[in-house]
Amino acid sequence: MKGSTQIKPQDVIAPIDRRLYGSFIEQLGRAVYTGIYQPGHPSADADGFRTDVINAVKELNVPLIRYPGGNFLSQYKWEDGIGPKDQRPVRLDLAWRELETNQFGLHEFMKWADKVNAVPNMAVNLGTRGIQEAAELVEYCNFPKGTYLSDLRRQNGAADPFAIKTWCLGNEMDGPWEIGAKTAREYAHLANETAKAMLRVDDSLELVACGSSSMDNPTFGDWEETVLDECYDNVDYLSLHRYYGYYNDDDPTELDNFLGKNLDLDAFIKGVVAMCDAVKARKRSTKTINLSFDEWNVWYHSNDADTQVTPWQVGPHLLEDVYNFEDALLVGSLLMTLLRNADRVKIACLAQLVNVIAPIMTDNDGGVWKQSIFYPFMQVANHGVGTVLVDHSQSPTYNSREFKDIPYLDTVTTYDEASHTLTVFAENKHQTDDLDFDLDFTDFTIDHLLEATQFAGYGVKDDNRDGHMALRPLETVTHTDHHATATLAPLSWNMLRFAVK
């Protein structure tokens, strides 16, 4: 099978906002307790943060981390997580039916985020709380000093303001499962009034309004329009959430369908962009609303196990999906789809980061292990920088249960002018055939090949609990000044990096 791409420097989709490679830590399951925070663990530092986890997160080079939820957010009191730890209350977490000790809160998160070189994407509770508490949280975090709340932050150890720029106005407020779920009209009004108050405290904030928590929700579409209608002038981004599952192990055609689910992600993004722009036109506005895809991943492996978990534990094993090789292929494709939409998707968060539907897993009594999905995410987050170029690829296609014309070759190229580097990500979705990949570099001149790797050769149901998965050299690359070729193995994720003159 043959596939090709043309790489043209003048055909730029957009500069890449590195926040596209964000992730998410929710106070849920073992994400925080025995995940990033475990005083007494052999690798814990003086703050109780696991340094083995910090090192793994740094490998992923995640620039932004959403916190503290998620569904947890919608019944959370941020004040419970500040001040002396021995005076913090233990609470019922109604979202996940866990015990929340509040030993980890705002200051701990800010300190930890700093250690992994990430900025926060903070969220305010609009489920059970509202305008006052949100504005007070902004004051506590961002006001320099001289007020009760800013001085309280200083008393609690943070002399300088946290200067948090990006804020989510609630979480999944359209979802019937959410504590304090709202109709579109109710949410739109509350979000707008909250945004106004938060911006009065700090007018440099960037605000994200909740879009639909899934394209499958019956309110999808009406929700976006109603929310934007009211909030347009006071928000900068609209959020999207999407998780994918593999639902029929007995159906031999399911894998082809699963690997095509990035087409669904693309359609979701394009649909929401259209809605943002329709509201823009109706309002005759010059402002463009961009997208924050602040939850995305594969999530289904743990569904059954989670129904057996005893409630009201601290740090229970919840949402601990063990990802297999086919999940890594889909995650690679989803990342390339986000890149191809980088003109409008400026923030995205892989949900989540540690232990909970996560690329990084911990053993309470042991070390850290990397899931299959760790590898494509790490490569794109580290090397998908600069600008993303228009996809001129050509490939044979196939049809599946849900999708038509899925290209076997999925590829995207980024160009980093600063380092004169072209990075090509490419996936072969064919289950049995090699793909002869032809790359035409037109107006670029290749100096040399920097690196070529493949993630391939595993059974689709293999996972990485035993640590056997690794990126391997892709040894089939040849090149001349303006041209390269490579053979991509069946079911493979590949990355080729070229230094150009």
The residue among 69 and 359 lying less far from ligand AHR, judged by its C-beta, is 69
CA distances from 51 to 48, 270, 298, 308, 352 (A): 9, 40, 27, 31, 18
CB of 25 to ligand AHR, least distance (A): 10
Of residues 15-34, those binding ligand AHR (CB under 6 A): 26
CB of 99 to ligand AHR, least distance (A): 17
Per DSSP, the three-state class of 47 is: coil
CB of 244 to ligand AHR, least distance (A): 13
The torsion angles phi and psi of 298, rounded to 5 degrees, stand at: -90, 140
CA distances from 265 to 214, 317, 322, 426 (A): 11, 29, 22, 18
The residue among 69 and 260 lying less far from ligand AHR, judged by its C-beta, is 69
Looking at 67-75, 138-146, 147-155, 446-454, which segment touches ligand AHR (CB under 6 A)?
A: 67-75
Q: How far apart are CA 16 and CA 36, in angstroms?
A: 28
User: Interior CA angle at 71 toward 66 and 75, to 5°?
Assistant: 105
Interacting residue with ligand AHR among 202, 295, 321, 463 (CB under 6 A): 295
CB of 299 to ligand AHR, least distance (A): 7
Closest CA to 358 of 377, 339, 344: 377
The β-bridge partners of 3 are 437
Per DSSP, the three-state class of 302 is: coil
The torsion angles phi and psi of 87, rounded to 5 degrees, stand at: -105, 5
321 binds ligand AHR (CB under 6 A): no
What angle do helix axes 374-383 and 325-340 make, rounded to 10 degrees?
A: 30
Residue-by-residue DSSP string for 439-481: EE-TT--EEEEEEEEEE--S-TT-B-TTS----EE-TT-EE-S
The residue among 172 and 427 lying less far from ligand AHR, judged by its C-beta, is 172
Looking at 6-14, 64-72, 154-162, 435-443, which segment touches ligand AHR (CB under 6 A)?
A: 64-72
Closest CA to 302 of 255, 372, 242, 246: 246
Q: How far apart are CA 394 and CA 401, in angstroms?
A: 22
Decide if 295 is catalytic: yes
Q: Which helix (H) or strand (E) holds 265?
A: helix 262-282
Site string for ligand AHR, 188-217 (x = CB under 6 A): -------------------------x----
The residue among 171 and 262 lying less far from ligand AHR, judged by its C-beta, is 171
Question: In this structure, are residues 237 and 292 in contact, taking their beta carbons and an 8 Å threshold?
Answer: yes
Decide if 225 is catalytic: no
Identify the burial level of 485 via C-beta atoms within 10 angstroms of its C-beta, where 0-12 means exposed, 13-18 middle and 19 or more buried. middle
Exposure string of 406-427, with b = 16+ CB inside 10 Å and e = fewer, is bbbbbbbbbbbeeeebbbbbbb
Of residues 327-356, those binding ligand AHR (CB under 6 A): 351-352
Looking at 13-21, 63-71, 245-253, 255-263, which segment touches ligand AHR (CB under 6 A)?
A: 63-71
CB of 319 to ligand AHR, least distance (A): 6
Q: Which of 172, 178, 230, 427 is catalytic?
A: 172
Site string for ligand AHR, 70-89 (x = CB under 6 A): xx------------------
CB of 28 to ligand AHR, least distance (A): 6
The residue among 34 and 454 lying less far from ligand AHR, judged by its C-beta, is 34
The residue among 213 and 372 lying less far from ligand AHR, judged by its C-beta, is 213
Of residues 161-180, those binding ligand AHR (CB under 6 A): 171-172
Looking at 68-76, 134-142, 252-260, 376-384, which segment touches ligand AHR (CB under 6 A)?
A: 68-76
Per DSSP, the three-state class of 436 is: strand
CB of 92 to ligand AHR, least distance (A): 16
Q: How far apart are CA 357 and CA 430, in angstroms?
A: 26
Q: Which of 100, 136, 139, 295 is catalytic?
A: 295
Of residues 459-498, those binding ligand AHR (CB under 6 A): none
The residue among 177 and 200 lying less far from ligand AHR, judged by its C-beta, is 177
The residue among 129 and 340 lying less far from ligand AHR, judged by its C-beta, is 129
Per DSSP, the three-state class of 385 is: coil
The residue among 172 and 236 lying less far from ligand AHR, judged by its C-beta, is 172
Interacting residue with ligand AHR among 69, 120, 211, 315 (CB under 6 A): 69
Q: How far apart are CA 246 and CA 327, in angstroms?
A: 9
The residue at minimum Cβ distance from ligand AHR is 70
- Residues tagged active-site: 172, 295
Chain residues binding ligand AHR by CB under 6 A are: 26, 69-71, 171-172, 213, 295, 351-352
